[in-house]
Chain A
Amino acid sequence: MLTLILILLPLLVAIGLFFIKNERWARNLALAAALIESGISIAALYTYFNFCHCQLLFRFEWLANYGISLKFGMDGLSMLMTLLTNFLVPVVIYSSFTQKVERASSFYSLIILMQAGLIGVFTAFDGMMFYIFWELTLIPAYFIAAYWGGENRIRITLKFFAYTFSGSLLMLVAIIYLYFHTPLPHSFDHIWLYASNLNPAEQVWVFLAFFLAFAIKIPIFPFHTWQPDTYVTAPYSGSMLLGGLMSKMGLFGMIRWMIPITYPVLNRTDGFFIIFPLIGIVYASLIAIRQDDLKRFVAYTSIAHLGLVAAGAMALNAQAMQGAMIQMVSHGINIVGLFIIIQYIESRTKTTSIAELQGIALKAPRLAVLFMIILLGSIALPLTNGFVGEFLILLGLFKYYWLYAAVAGLTVIFSVVYMLWMYQRVMLGNTNTVTESFTDLSWKEMIPLIAIVIMIFWIGIAPGMFMHLAENGVRQIIGVVR
């Protein structure tokens, strides 16, 4: 039941928000709703731990004769991703308060709508529901990016939409195809889909369809070219949602749907498909080094980081997948933090060009410290959230094939190279005309960042709870794979 509330509440709030004229109320209501949502998900967590390790299932025969049912629930993975969503969305909303949004009511209602979609994706236990919510998130994302976006947003966002949409259509076909190969009576229920029997050739096709859809969404090299432009042109809240949560949909889909259903392909091709994300890691890292626009820079770093996660997810062993889950959470938190900081920098200096910035640390020590911590998180320093996931992923990859781990491990070096160089050029050195009058963060502005920093250290030092949640789901999936 809680699960259903988690999905319905934002849906209703989103609809309600459309009709609110007063923008100030709209945004406050949005924040309130998001916070309530987080509260509910914490309640869900509580029940999950204390009363039942059951999955808070909600089931309703939606299209009985077509085997589609509204089946939502929360196992560890869903719980983890739901928590992430409900942690990040309030942060995103709050951080958007610092600057002026026109037609705020629509803006926030779209954000909340997207939240509903995301939670639907993360909690769906029915293939068709998964697809429906998967697409549902695309619409608000598109509108946010295209309406409140920067220059030549129309072309870029249309490309983004068409690209991802084509990918997911393939997935739709794959899901329907699977449906007809499930044991009788056919059903989209994930257990049925897991049990679907395909011959090797069919498996390959289904796998490719899934892989393409997810690879575009995450994105994995070489299907990533929509992403940097979109991140740059989208408003900050949009970029945060895209980078922090939407990319996770792809990874989550891989772990929840692609791998349990088509792992034999991964086995047979032994790790051929891991090569794409691996290339992506090196490639994107190299490109990131020379980027001048901060948002573009973050975009490329996230390609590199998510490449690592994807590689971990496809390595088909417990450690790597566990790491992937944890790293999804960490990356979500870190990238949102980075975007918030860039947002603050731009709102003060009116530029995101690394070349024009300099010596901000002199003027804004608070910003510098928080920035440094988030940065350390994303270069995976031990005792920050980045490390736990990255360590486990690399460990798992090493178990899979040592060379992969060695290549993926290059991220350890590269991340330091590009991150520190960026930090040095933006924050360190002496101030210049642009950063002369840079004012330090106010407490109001620091709140979201502090929340993020707390998460960074929490996951970094005591990942126990998160590990436990992830483990529960990962064990199931590895069980299927074995």
Chain B
Amino acid sequence: MTILITLIPLLPLLGFIILGLGYRSIPKHIASIIGPGSILISFILSVIVLLNFRFSPFAFRFFDWISFGNLSISFDFLIDPLSILMMLIITGVGFIIHVYSVGYMSHDEGFNRFFAYMNLFIFFMLILVMAANYAVMFIGWEGVGLCSYLLIGFWFKNQQFNNAAKKAFIMNRIGDLGFLLGMFLIYKTFRSFNYVTIFDLAKTMSPGSGAITAITLLLFVGAVGKSAQIPLYTWLPDAMAGPTPVSALIHAATMVTAGVYMVARSGVLYVLAPETMEIMGITAMATMLLAAAIAVFQNDIKKVLAYSTISQLGYMFVALSVGAFTAAMFHLMTHAFFKALLFLGAGSVIHALEGEQDIRKMGGLKNAMPKTFWTFLIGTLAIAGIPPLSGFFSKDEILANVFSSSQPMWIIAVAVTMLTAFYMFRLIFFTFFGSYRGNGHPQFSNIHESPAMMTIPLMILAFLAFAGGFLNIPELMGGSRVLKEFLAPVFADAVKLNQIPHMPVPERREWFNIALVLFLVLLMAFRAFRKFGDLKPDDGNRISGIGARSIFGKLAENKFYVDELYDAVFVKPVLKVSGALHEFIEVKFIDRIVNGTGTLVVRFSNIIRYLQAGHVGAYMFFMIIGILLILFFNIIL
């Protein structure tokens, strides 16, 4: 069994190594078997693991990594419902996206390189979720960051893309520093990195103790970096520079949710730190609101999806901040399905339009590429939360939990839901409805559906996005909560220790909430339809978006100038300081002192050598003075 489990991450690694070493020699058709194949096998293995999983989490040692004295960091894997769930999502969705990429990247000369990176990413992601201690988790944590860097900058001819990649890595690293310090504090407090030991010890500690608050905050910094929350979210939109499958896999389905996973994993610690939970809640609120607001005004199809991802992640963090871990994980899963679907759909559109990403130049594609359209529509409905699609259930659960703990938060969450619905429908109307606005290139006539290699994955994901929700139908609707039961043992302690007050909500109220939210969502959808239902090429001001009108719109369209702000506050000053340090401190101060001592001695030498004037008389005189001084000091004194 353990061998099978270790194979799960190792197979993608093997794929990476093979493809990496033979990135020139291996022909495409073989690469396109190795790449997805390795993932498929590890998916099957994960399924096997799931099937013979007996509801008792078990950890085992792969090998000893860093160990000396009393410190021992070993490469341990932990298999419990949570990690199994993540493994399934990663390998499953990963495999589908791999398959899709075979079609999508078919014409790219970096084909093998692409799959090598993708496999490497899967490897690290699996390490991240399968780790049994924070140190090993950190391996994955950094590794996925690296892969996202490599994949965002995949087309490295273009320095813009490289900048985006660099930005992503750096911002991730800022988070990672927090994570590291968190780990150190953990080690200092609990003398271990192992989840089990840590949580057992933590349970005994009093809630709100300083150490735990600090730990959770530092870890949360890491999560903020990884999961693109305020203030470290600006890398994610830029990350859309990478190939679309990358955006789907890394920047929607898996990597960006690592933060959520990590917080859920350390749930025990977090419930013991109410302050952290509050901070997390506020951050998440702000993030999802901001991101949703920006998304409404974006005209790049992928950017819209990117911002929607950010806000959905905020959603998950809100759930975490009220201690609704299952809900968060549930939404994580469904989000993985429908956001991957949406990205791949967008990808197929871009593919068809030969790289066009501006939705203002699209339109009327629903006839040209029906499969893409229908799947995309399903995705939209799902994310908008239309029953009975997956999004509805997951969102509803989060909303229910939030409502039971604090109404104001609930109101904001609802607002975000409305915005989500609005921008998603705006997107779909811009893209697929109305009439084609891409004047000339490419000709509407030769726009056609993507190959089966790409559409089949779309359909599979569409099915998942549709049916994924049934895993966890609330009792309210008399459903069975498979996922909740499945995850229950993991979160048992966390839920027990949860500090946030949960007032029971009467059923009628819950039904009312659901109905209300649904109504509002439909309202927004309708409003979107009224505005952008059928866009013609001529009516410019509607096309150019609402941005043109209100000042708020302007701000939002320019992402509230956050990038510019960061540039002015951090980037430019650092460069200036760097130059200044070198010029003034290094060269003109420190080094000048060093050289100065040298020149000083030489000057001194040049002075005193004139004592040696060459006149015998002078010499005698000096000597006499010397003699007199010596006699004076030794005899008179």
Q: Could you list which residues of chain A lie within 8 angstroms of chain B, going by C-beta atoms?
A: 159, 162-163, 222, 225-226, 283, 286-291, 318-319, 322, 359, 361-362, 365, 369, 376, 381-383, 388, 391-392, 394-395, 398-399, 402, 405-406, 409-410, 412-413, 416-417, 420-421, 424, 427-430, 461-464, 467-468, 470-471, 475
Report A143 CB to chain B, min CB distance, Å.
21
Structural contact, B181 and A406, CB atoms closer than 8 A:
yes
Given A429-B162, A463-B66, A471-B68, are A413 and B578 also a contact pair (CB < 8 Å)?
A: no
Structural contact, A416 and B173, CB atoms closer than 8 A:
yes
Structural contact, B578 and A287, CB atoms closer than 8 A:
yes
Given A163-B594, A381-B142, are A394 and B169 also a contact pair (CB < 8 Å)?
A: no
Structural contact, A225 and B594, CB atoms closer than 8 A:
yes
Report A304 CB to chain B, min CB distance, Å.
12
Beyond A365-B24, A398-B188, list 16 extra A-B contacts (CB 8 Å).
A162-B598, A222-B590, A225-B591, A283-B585, A290-B579, A318-B68, A318-B71, A392-B66, A409-B180, A413-B177, A428-B159, A429-B156, A430-B157, A462-B63, A462-B65, A471-B68
Alpha-carbon distance between A405 and B183 when the two chains are bound, in angstroms: 12
Structural contact, A413 and B174, CB atoms closer than 8 A:
yes
- Hey, which chain B residues are within 8 Å of A398, CB to CB? 181, 184-185, 188
Structural contact, A402 and B181, CB atoms closer than 8 A:
yes
- Hey, which chain B residues are within 8 Å of A163, CB to CB? 594
Report A443 CB to chain B, min CB distance, Å.
14
Alpha-carbon distance between A268 and B173 when the two chains are bound, in angstroms: 35
Query: Among A159, A288, A382, A406, which residue has the most Cβ atoms of chain B within 10 A?
Result: A382
Question: Can you name the residue of chain B whose Cβ is closest to the Cβ of A283?
Answer: B581
Structural contact, A409 and B162, CB atoms closer than 8 A:
no
- Asked if B586 lies at the interface with its beta carbon under 8 angstroms from chain A, I say yes
Structural contact, B146 and A381, CB atoms closer than 8 A:
yes
Sample of 22 A–B contacts (CB below 8 Å): A162-B598, A225-B594, A287-B582, A290-B578, A290-B579, A291-B582, A318-B71, A392-B66, A395-B187, A398-B184, A402-B185, A413-B170, A413-B173, A413-B174, A413-B177, A416-B170, A429-B162, A430-B157, A461-B65, A463-B65, A464-B64, A464-B67
Query: Among B68, B71, B575, which residue has the most Cβ atoms of chain A within 10 A?
Result: B68
Question: Can you name the residue of chain A whose Cβ is closest to the Cβ of B214?
Answer: A402
Question: Can you name the residue of chain A whose Cβ is closest to the Cβ of B21?
Answer: A369
Q: How does the 8 Å CB contact mask read for B342-353 relative to A, with 1 for contact and 0 for none?
A: 000000000000
- Asked if B338 lies at the interface with its beta carbon under 8 angstroms from chain A, I say no
- Hey, which chain B residues are within 8 Å of A406, CB to CB? 181
- Hey, which chain B residues are within 8 Å of A369, CB to CB? 20
Structural contact, A286 and B574, CB atoms closer than 8 A:
yes
- Asked if B595 lies at the interface with its beta carbon under 8 angstroms from chain A, I say yes
Given A225-B590, A225-B591, A381-B143, are A395 and B579 also a contact pair (CB < 8 Å)?
A: no
Report B120 CB to chain A, min CB distance, Å.
11
- Hey, which chain B residues are within 8 Å of A225, CB to CB? 586, 590-591, 594
- Hey, which chain A residues are within 8 Å of B585, CB to CB? 283
Given A382-B143, A399-B188, A405-B181, are A365 and B23 also a contact pair (CB < 8 Å)?
A: yes
Alpha-carbon distance between A163 and B153 when the two chains are bound, in angstroms: 44
Alpha-carbon distance between A48 and B64 when the two chains are bound, in angstroms: 22
Structural contact, A382 and B142, CB atoms closer than 8 A:
yes
Question: Can you name the residue of chain B whose Cβ is closest to the Cβ of A380?
Answer: B142
- Asked if B176 lies at the interface with its beta carbon under 8 angstroms from chain A, I say yes
Alpha-carbon distance between A287 and B577 when the two chains are bound, in angstroms: 8
- Asked if B335 lies at the interface with its beta carbon under 8 angstroms from chain A, I say no
Alpha-carbon distance between A468 and B68 when the two chains are bound, in angstroms: 7
Alpha-carbon distance between A286 and B584 when the two chains are bound, in angstroms: 13
Report A228 CB to chain B, min CB distance, Å.
9
Structural contact, B166 and A420, CB atoms closer than 8 A:
yes
Structural contact, A417 and B170, CB atoms closer than 8 A:
yes
Structural contact, B574 and A289, CB atoms closer than 8 A:
yes
- Hey, which chain A residues are within 8 Å of B67, CB to CB? 464, 467
- Hey, which chain A residues are within 8 Å of B586, CB to CB? 225, 287
The 6 A-B residue pairs with the shortest CB-CB distance, nearest first, are A398-B184, A382-B139, A225-B591, A290-B578, A428-B156, A471-B68
- Hey, which chain A residues are within 8 Å of B156, CB to CB? 361, 427-429
- Asked if B501 lies at the interface with its beta carbon under 8 angstroms from chain A, I say no
Structural contact, B71 and A319, CB atoms closer than 8 A:
yes
Chain B 123-150 residues near chain A, CB threshold 8 A: 135, 138-139, 142-143, 146, 149
- Hey, which chain B residues are within 8 Å of A287, CB to CB? 578, 581-582, 586
- Hey, which chain B residues are within 8 Å of A365, CB to CB? 23-24
Structural contact, B582 and A394, CB atoms closer than 8 A:
no
- Hey, which chain A residues are within 8 Å of B64, CB to CB? 464
Structural contact, B159 and A424, CB atoms closer than 8 A:
yes
- Asked if B408 lies at the interface with its beta carbon under 8 angstroms from chain A, I say no
Report A281 CB to chain B, min CB distance, Å.
13
B24, B139, B578: which contacts A286 (Cβ < 8 A)? Answer: B578
Structural contact, A394 and B146, CB atoms closer than 8 A:
no
Question: Can you name the residue of chain A whose Cβ is closest to the Cβ of B571?
Answer: A417
Report B9 CB to chain A, min CB distance, Å.
12
A399, A410, A420: which contacts B170 (Cβ < 8 A)? Answer: A420
- Asked if B69 lies at the interface with its beta carbon under 8 angstroms from chain A, I say yes
- Hey, which chain A residues are within 8 Å of B24, CB to CB? 365
Structural contact, B180 and A394, CB atoms closer than 8 A:
yes
Report A441 CB to chain B, min CB distance, Å.
14
A288, A391, A424: which contacts B66 (Cβ < 8 A)? Answer: A391
Structural contact, A362 and B157, CB atoms closer than 8 A:
yes
Structural contact, B180 and A412, CB atoms closer than 8 A:
yes
Alpha-carbon distance between A222 and B173 when the two chains are bound, in angstroms: 28
Question: Can you name the residue of chain A whose Cβ is closest to the Cβ of B576?
Answer: A290
Alpha-carbon distance between A283 and B206 when the two chains are bound, in angstroms: 41
Alpha-carbon distance between A464 and B64 when the two chains are bound, in angstroms: 8
Alpha-carbon distance between A108 and B348 when the two chains are bound, in angstroms: 61
Report A262 CB to chain B, min CB distance, Å.
24
Structural contact, A410 and B177, CB atoms closer than 8 A:
yes
Report A144 CB to chain B, min CB distance, Å.
22
Alpha-carbon distance between A457 and B66 when the two chains are bound, in angstroms: 14
Alpha-carbon distance between A398 and B218 when the two chains are bound, in angstroms: 14
Alpha-carbon distance between A290 and B582 when the two chains are bound, in angstroms: 9
Alpha-carbon distance between A222 and B578 when the two chains are bound, in angstroms: 16
Report A290 CB to chain B, min CB distance, Å.
4
Report A321 CB to chain B, min CB distance, Å.
11
Structural contact, A409 and B590, CB atoms closer than 8 A:
no
- Hey, which chain B residues are within 8 Å of A159, CB to CB? 594-595, 598
Question: Can you name the residue of chain A whose Cβ is closest to the Cβ of B75?
Answer: A461
Structural contact, B173 and A289, CB atoms closer than 8 A:
no
